[in-house]
């Protein structure tokens, strides 16, 4: 558990065993059903045990396996409730935890990256990690100038294990599918693969975090810790005091807290690109920290982890995105098709029904049709199942549309953010924030008041 398993064969075997174990449990469940056990009880038991093994394995392997699990966790609200309930606890736990490295391993990495006299700079460090992620873990420490700091240390062999895991998961995507019904595994794995190498580069992450920290300094809503020091496998930032992550609000927050922090999430994700030229592209709840006011009321939100960042050449979200949503909201299907074709979303020879297209895009548009929109698991589930149902006419749209490379991270971030908002059950002024921060968007639909 201390380090990422060195042998690719051992890691591959553990990942490959997951679908086989699920099949074995299903066969046992069938036997129990033949013996008279209720179907609901049998399926609940199978799902619970499978969830425990799946997310325990993903968490312990870290690397690409855990990164894949974190990507799944954002989509948890889209799963049918009877499937999601047994998985929810393990998904949430995966977002914030993983087995730790030995203290000496951490010290060796610090010496390699910061030099043999690293203790003169980092004068104290807690031996136990306070948090863990897919490729590294975080310790609390004290810098020589008195600042409390967060010390993120990359796991040994993280790069090799990350890419090996993702290759294995890509090959096993179809087999793993039955573990999480309703989620198309192949594109999810491909997306994680595409951005994995960037997340191994702590220098690149530090560069992005510095831009965000400078931009959001003294912001009334968002807090971004400053970067203190960085090396190939070590990233030290100022410590951020918080009362937990959005995962805490999802599990036990009040309605006021859900609405407040949901709105801050939307504000950050939409305003960040226009203010920084970057898009924070890893919207899982563990990256967003809750900072209450002194009286305990909902306050600011801290944002961590800048390893997955889209660099936007136009220094903001692309204006065609705003125009497309505006046209869809206005019900102008013909103009929408023409704009999609112009921007490369629709190849020249591909024909499609404008109405079906607007139906397919409704999850992106519906929140803009009212002054304040209430996200929910039920709404997310309905949208997800509809556009992924081969029997639904709108399903055919998905195989006809082409997603230009420059929109891949934007699309994933948008979907992930809607997933988090749905887990929160948050109500937010989605339309007003889009009007303020999304180029090309103009609200044309009347209020529902």
Residue 262 is assigned to a structural domain of this protein: no
pLDDT in tens, 404-447: 877 878 888 898 899 899 999 999 999 999 999 999 999 865 55
Identify which has the larger pLDDT, 416 or 45: 416
Residue 284 is assigned to a structural domain of this protein: no
Residue 278 is assigned to a structural domain of this protein: no
Residue 432 is assigned to a structural domain of this protein: yes
CA atoms of 198 and 205, how far apart (whole Å): 8
Structure tokens at 62: 């870290």
| Residue 194 sits in the same domain as residue 54 | yes
pTM for the structure as a whole: 0.77
C-alpha angle 55/56/62, rounded to 5°?
85
Domain boundary among the residues 132, 167, 198 is at 198
Q: What percent of the chain has pLDDT over 90?
A: 47
- CB neighbours of 410 closer than 8 A, spacing ≥ 6? 279, 281, 310, 317, 318, 321
The pLDDT assigned to 426 comes to 98
Domain boundary among the residues 173, 198, 223 is at 198
Name the H helices within 177-254.
185-199, 202-215, 246-252
Specify the number of domains making up the chain: 2
Residue 108 is assigned to a structural domain of this protein: no
β-strand 136-143 against 131-132: which pairing, if any?
antiparallel
| Residue 36 sits in the same domain as residue 173 | yes
Structure tokens at 84: 């999601």
| Residue 191 sits in the same domain as residue 57 | yes
Residue 410 is assigned to a structural domain of this protein: yes
CA atoms of 299 and 293, how far apart (whole Å): 5
Distances in Å between the Cα of 296 and the Cα atoms of 36, 242, 290 are 52, 12, 11
| Residue 32 sits in the same domain as residue 162 | yes
Domain boundary among the residues 198, 228, 253 is at 198
Query: HSE on the CB side for 233, CA within 13 Å?
Result: 20
Cβ count within 10 A of residue 350: 14
- The helix/strand/coil state of 311 is strand
Burial 42-52 (b: 16+ CB within 10 A, else e): bbebbbebbbe
Domain that residue 433 falls in:
319-437
Region 144-173 average pLDDT:
80
Residue 275 is assigned to a structural domain of this protein: no
Residue 85 is assigned to a structural domain of this protein: yes
pLDDT tops 90 at residue 118: yes
pLDDT in tens, 238-283: 999 999 999 999 999 999 999 999 999 999 999 999 999 999 998 8
């Amino acid at each position: 558990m201390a380090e990422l398993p060195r042998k690719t064969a051992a890691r591959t075997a553990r990942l490959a065993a997951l679908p086989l174990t699920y099949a074995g449990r299903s066969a046992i469940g069938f036997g129990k059903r033949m013996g008279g056990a209720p179907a609901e009880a049998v399926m609940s038991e199978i799902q619970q045990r499978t969830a425990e093994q799946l997310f325990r394995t993903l968490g312990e392997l870290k690397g690409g396996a855990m990164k894949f699990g974190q990507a799944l966790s954002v989509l948890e609200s889209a799963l049918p409730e009877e499937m999601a309930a047994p998985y929810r606890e393990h998904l949430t736990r995966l977002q914030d935890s993983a087995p730790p490295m030995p203290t000496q391993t951490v010290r060796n990495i610090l010496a390699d990256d910061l030099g043999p006299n690293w203790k003169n700079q980092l004068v104290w460090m807690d031996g136990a990690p306070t948090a863990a992620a897919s490729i590294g873990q975080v310790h609390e420490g004290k810098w020589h100038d008195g600042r409390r700091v967060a010390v993120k240390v990359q796991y040994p062999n993280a790069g090799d294990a990350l890419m090996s895991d993702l290759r294995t998961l890509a090959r096993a995507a179809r087999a793993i599918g039955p573990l999480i019904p309703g989620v198309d595994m192949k594109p999810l794995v491909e997306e994680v693969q595409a951005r994995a190498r960037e997340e191994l580069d702590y220098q690149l992450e530090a560069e992005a975090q510095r831009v965000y920290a400078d931009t959001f300094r003294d912001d009334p809503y968002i807090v971004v810790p400053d970067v203190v020091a960085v090396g190939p496998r070590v990233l030290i930032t100022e410590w951020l005091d918080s009362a937990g992550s959005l995962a805490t609000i999802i599990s036990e927050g009040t309605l006021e807290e859900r609405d407040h922090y949901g709105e801050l999430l939307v504000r950050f994700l939409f305003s960040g690109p226009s203010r920084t030229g970057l898009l924070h592209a890893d919207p899982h709840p563990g990256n967003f920290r809750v900072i209450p006011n002194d009286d305990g009321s909902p306050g600011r939100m801290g944002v961590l982890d800048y390893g997955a960042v889209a660099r936007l050449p136009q220094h903001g979200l692309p204006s065609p995105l705003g125009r497309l949503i505006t046209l869809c909201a206005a019900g102008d299907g013909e103009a929408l098709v023409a704009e999609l074709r112009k921007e490369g979303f629709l190849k020249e020879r591909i024909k499609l029904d404008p109405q079906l297209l607007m139906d397919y895009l409704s999850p992106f548009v519906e929140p803009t049709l009212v002054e304040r929109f209430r996200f929910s698991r039920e709404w997310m589930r309905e949208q997800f199942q509809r556009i992924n149902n081969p029997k639904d006419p709108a399903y055919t749209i998905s195989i006809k549309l082409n997603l230009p490379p420059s929109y891949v991270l934007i699309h994933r971030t948008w979907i992930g953010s809607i997933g988090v908002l749905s887990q929160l059950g948050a109500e937010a002024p989605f339309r007003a924030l889009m009007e303020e921060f999304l180029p090309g968007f103009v609200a044309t639909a009347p209020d529902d008041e």
